[in-house]
Amino acid sequence: IDIKTGYANYVNLVDEFGDPDRNRARMEGYMPITSHRVAFERLAHLCLPKDNRAYLLLGTYGTGKSHLLLMLANYLGRDKREVEFGLLRGNWDKVDPDQSAKLQSWRGKGRYLVALVDFGKGGTFEAMVLRAIEEACRRDGYEGFARTHYGEAAAWLRDRREQQAQGGL
């Protein structure tokens, strides 16, 4: 008996995408079932043309929405030469090689910046999205993040805490 541990009772999208070992384990164990393949193809096609729209993925608890989005985040956010992309492609090839080839051709070269919002950290929607973008930039090694109200406020608070710790306030 070979038990696949890729599926679990829940997937923490933000934590698992940010943890290379946990992410790789999810990618390795993922077997794209028919409903996921249909949804994935539609989502991938919607994401790639840059149509400036927002999409909402709805489904009942336990249907694999977060797991599917973790796969999509790796599909968009990884270079095709990275291990995670290869794992996704390899698993897809096992169940639908034609669709796998189509998805690979859609992706082209390079990769996208994947910003995953952690709604559990709180704040306004704008602040949460900006924090996610800043964290994605930092994760990908980009230090030229634009100055924003969020960034300025965070820097001001850091400065005040440092001054307090040094007895300056």
Does pLDDT of 13 surpass 60?
Answer: yes
Please write the tens of the pLDDT for every residue from 144-169. 766 667 677 778 888 888 888 887 65
Q: How far is residue 69's CA from residue 16's CA, in Å, rounded to a whole number?
A: 11
Q: How far apart are CA 14 and CA 18, in angstroms?
A: 6
Its pTM stands at 0.76
Helix axes 65-77, 97-107, angle to 10 degrees: 50
